[in-house]
Structures are given as structure tokens and as C-alpha cells.
Chain A
Amino acid sequence: MKAVQRKMFYLFSPFLRIFHWIMVDAIIVMFVTGILIAKPPEINALEPAQSMLLVNIIRQIHFLAAFGFCASFVFRVYGFIINKGDRLFPRFWEGHFYSETVDVALHYMFLRKAHKSYLRNPLARMSYFGLYVLVLIEVLTGFAMYNMSEPNAIGGLMFGWVNTVLGGEMMTHIVHHFTAWAIVLFASGHLYMVTRAEFMEGESEVSSMFSGSKILAHDPLDAKELE
């Protein structure tokens, strides 16, 4: 066995990492509470006065997590400003992005033995963009419902149009609920792909979200972008 030479690439600022883990927690909390709100559990209280106001508390937790999540985007954007490694979106405007995405996709479909090495796996980046779209839908529909308890206040005026666009507030509830499931499906795929990349391909996808650095045995194609 040859000794493997490894290089370290610093990619993710602490702000991005904090954001990432807040997002993970918030999504778990919001998914669980959201399902409970849509299908509340049975409580066998005899009087509202004797109950623990369960649904009310669940809703408050959901809202709290939602506000925390939205606020955490401050970290994400700040990281993007101060650190070259943090990037908000994939570089759609660069032609090689597409051929590289195909390269990775073919590998994952077992049509290619391996894909070239990238610091930022283009297919994964594409999926994160998809996640942001889903999150945006959740934020818009979420605030559209939340703020309509006072339709003529500023929040109602800012987000009320979402209900109109979707064809009614009930539709907003439904879209919000469906999108939540889409996010769960994304999460299950994401969890697998990063674990696979970390332990099978040696791509530090999991560890870099703790340490910020990727330690790679090969020279990634996009290493120059960090300079």
C-alpha cells in the first residue's frame, strides 16, 4: 500500500456551519410540530381548563422554530460575504457546470466508474438549490397563513398575495403541507449521499460540515476557485 497524500481545503465558514445545523434542527422541529398541527393528537381532557393547551403550545413551538430559521439566514449571507468558500447558489451561468453535473449523475447511476473530483459536487449543489426553492415556498406560504390573523397589518399586506395567487387560504395550507414532505424526501436523499461520499469516496462531505475543511487525497477540479 502506498501512503496517501492528503490536502486540506478550507471551504465552509463557521457562519455557514451554524446556519446549516440550525436549519437541520428547525426543519426537524417544524416537520414534527407541523404534522401534529395538521393531525392533532387525541387528548382525553374533559375541560379545556384541565388540558395542557397542547395544540396551542405545539403551534407556538412551530412559529418559534420558523422565526429562528428565517433569522439564521443572516449567518448564511454573512458567511457568503466574508468567505470565498461559502456560496449561495451554483454557478448556473458557467457551461462546465452542466457537463460536470452529468458526469456526477452518470456515476451515481452506475454508468461511470467514478466521477471527477470536485470541492463542490455540482449535482449536490443543484439539489441544494432545489432545497432553497422548497424553503422559499414554505416561508412564503407559512407567513401568508401566520399573518392573516390580522389581514390589514403590515404582515398581512406583505404576504396576503400568496393566498390570492394560490387560489385561497386553504390551498396555502395544502401547499405548505405538501412541500414539507418534499423537504423530508430531500433530507433522506441528502443524508445518504453525504454519508456515502464521506465513507465510500473519501470526500469529507460530513466532516466538513463540522470542521469547515475538506481533506482530500486528490486535487479537485475547482480548487482554484478558492484562491
Chain B
Amino acid sequence: MFISFVTIKGGKNVEKRETMWEAYLRRGFSRRTFLKGCVALTSLMGLSTDMLDKVVEAAETKPLPVVIWMHGHECTGCDESFIRSASPLASDLVLTNIALEYDHLLSAACGEPFEQHLEETVKKYYGQYILAVEGAVSTTNNGTYCMSGGKPFVDNLQHVAKGAAAIIAYGSCAAYGGIQAAKPNPTGSAGISHYVGTKQVINVPGCPPIPEVMTGVVMHVALFGKLPTLDSDGRPRQFYGNRIHDTCYRRPFFDAGMFADHFDDAGAKAGWCLYKLGCRGPETYNSCGNLRWWQGMSYPIQSGAPCIGCANANFWDSGACFSERLPKYGPLPDVDIIGAGLAAASVVGVAAHGALSVVQRHERDKAEAKENEGKEQVAGK
């Protein structure tokens, strides 16, 4: 899916904007640093090294893409993750790789002039900017549970989304509604995709997403001017194409049947599979298993915490407690014990029914015998 929004010469009302190379030059970086940056970007975007030429070319010629970053119904935890991206460094990304025009959290400006700047940016780069959205939309009571600049966020979003060339939904909130959408969802939280018209949204779920995934996705759109390959749920396949369970380094323990049964037992200490402690790795699509977090240092499972499936839609209402595989209902035990109980009860019930049936049959036979006797007597007379 190609989107031709980054054009230097084509656009009428577009002033000359810096390219990435020019931004590097302005900041006094060497060509070598620039090329190193390009190599890092190439591998991060999951492209083969053959593509390096294309990346360098794009970085030299394409003007920096304008990015508008909006925050909705959320905790800004995704930003916390984003600014910890190491390759590329989030600071490099923000300062030299994209032209970030509006961001609640990272901008120094605030108040009315800031909102005015948003308006101007939307007008000036209409149809060309990348819109990154963090946070769900709140829909109950006309969206008044999430206001920004005096207006409901959902209205702001719809307004800005109209002119966006590409829309990225960062985090499980923007993608699926987030924890605030958990039952009973008092604020009517929902993912943004239904509120941006018919445009394809790139879903980058996670609570938060992995930093390098966040930067990787925006750089892909920025450099190539097209969306990365998406799966049926709108997630970039490169980062969300595998289950954690299928990439988890503890998988051999799973296959071998070596499990931690408690958080403090020998298995947990030895680093065995966390399946019995409710690990959602078998149901979750994310890059935690292969990219890992904090420059590959670790990820929750490696640190001994079962995956909670934070990149899944509805992970907050996933049916069972995070540390269990099967749901329990109040004081009742899980379904295996209930099921076994019901099966035992059915055996008792069946035995009782059988006994009653024997009685019934006996009565019936007796009645029939009597009837026959009667008939015979009648016939005999």
C-alpha cells in the first residue's frame, strides 16, 4: 500500500524542508555517523542489508516527515517507553529523523499558542503529515471524559485525522481501548480505528509497546512513505507476526514439561516455563521474545514474570486471572474440578434413574401380565 505524501517538489504549499542528511549536517555530525544511523535503521525496520542503499537515498532526499503526536485517554506510559528507544535513540529520532510538530509530552510550548500551532500545522501540511496517536478515545457523554485544549479528544482526533497521510495507533489504548475499556467501561473507551474514517490505522499494541518497535514503525513510514506490511489486525507483521510462546527462550522447558508451579519454588528460580503461572505467551503476538526490552537486556518472562498478554485486544478482560490459566468464579474452583464434580453427579443421577427405571419396568410387566391374564380368562369363558 503506497502513500505518496512525502514530496519535495510536488506539493504546492510545501516549503523546502530538511532531509535527514541535512539535519545531521546542521547538527555537525559526520557522514560516517549518518551512515551508521542508516544501517541501524535498516536492520531495525527488518529490512535486509541490500536495502541499505534505498534507506540512504531516502534519508538524503526525502524531507523529514511532519509528525503530529496526540495523546488521548491514557497514562502516557507509551511515551515513557518511546523515549527509551536505543536504536535509533529517541532523541535522534525526534531531533534529526522526523519533524515533530506537536506532542503534548515532549513539546516545550503549551497553552493557546501550542494549540494554534497544531491548527497551522494541520493546514500547512494537510494530507502529508503522519499522525501518531497514543491513548483511547472516550465516547460516553460526547467524549467529555477526555478533554484536551478545551475540546473532547475524540473531536480533536477526528479533525486532525482527516488530513493525515498515515495514522499510527501507539499502545493497546489507541489500538483497542486499553485498560480503561475493561468492563464495565464507564468512559466508553475504544480504539481509534473507528474514529478516523476509512483510513487504515497501523496498530502498534502493547502496554506499552517495545521502544524500538515504536521508533521502527514511525521510521518505516517516514523513510519509505508507505505502510509496513500489516496483518489482518493492522499490526506490522515484522513485529507482531509471532507468538511470544513460539519465540520464547523458555520454550524447551515447556516442551519438556518443566514448569514453575509457584513464584517461589525451585522451578521458578531455575528459570523454567511460566505456563502454569498463567503465562499468556501462547496467546500473545509481540516481539518480546526476539527483540526483548532495553536493548535486548531482558523481557518480563526472562525476569520471571509470566506474560500478561499486554499486546492483545481485551487482555484486561481475558477471562482468567493473570496468574492462572483457567478462570475461577467466586468461591467456586476451576472448571476441571467443577466438571469432574458434575461427571460424578451424573453417574449418581444415572444410577438413581436406572434403579427407578427397573422399578417402572417391573410395574409395567406386572400390569401387562395381569392384562393378559384377564384376556385369557375372557377368552376361556
Partner of B276, one of A40, A53, A114: A40
| B195-250 residues at the A interface, CB under 8 angstroms | 231-233, 237, 241, 243, 246
Contact with A along B362-381 (1 / 0, CB 8 A): 01100100000000000000
A: number of interface residues (CB 8 Å)? 45
| A2-57 residues at the B interface, CB under 8 angstroms | 35, 38-43, 45, 48, 51-56
Contact A196 B319 (CB under 8 A): no
| Bound complex: CA A201 to CA B354 (Å) | 12
Contact with A along B244-270 (1 / 0, CB 8 A): 001000001111111101000000000
Contact A177 B326 (CB under 8 A): yes
Given the interface pairs A152-B237, A184-B339, the reply to whether A55 lies near B364 with Cβ below 8 Å is no
Contact with A along B339-354 (1 / 0, CB 8 A): 1001100110010011
Q: Is residue A226 within 8 Å, beta carbon to beta carbon, of the partner chain?
A: no
**Main DSSP-derived SS at the B contact region:** helix
Q: Is residue B323 within 8 Å, beta carbon to beta carbon, of the partner chain?
A: no
Q: Is residue A178 within 8 Å, beta carbon to beta carbon, of the partner chain?
A: yes
Contact B356 A110 (CB under 8 A): yes
Partner of B253, one of A48, A108, A177: A48
Partner of B327, one of A35, A108, A164, A174: A174
B: number of interface residues (CB 8 Å)? 54
- 6 more A-B residue pairs beyond the given contacts A43-B258, A173-B325, with a C-beta to C-beta distance below 8 A: A48-B252, A113-B367, A152-B241, A168-B317, A170-B318, A200-B358
The 10 closest A-B pairs by CB, nearest first: A181-B339, A51-B256, A169-B283, A56-B255, A48-B256, A48-B252, A54-B257, A170-B318, A192-B350, A43-B257
**B residues lining the A interface (CB < 8 Å):** 231-233, 237, 241, 243, 246, 252-259, 261, 275-276, 280, 282-285, 309, 312-315, 317-320, 325-327, 335-336, 338-339, 342-343, 346-347, 350, 353-354, 356-358, 360-361, 363-364, 367
**A residues lining the B interface (CB < 8 Å):** 35, 38-43, 45, 48, 51-56, 108, 110, 113-114, 148-149, 151-152, 157, 160, 164, 167-174, 177-178, 181, 184-185, 188-189, 192, 196, 200-201
User: Can you give 7 contacting A-B residue pairs, CB < 8 Å?
Assistant: A41-B257, A56-B255, A170-B318, A174-B319, A189-B350, A196-B353, A200-B357
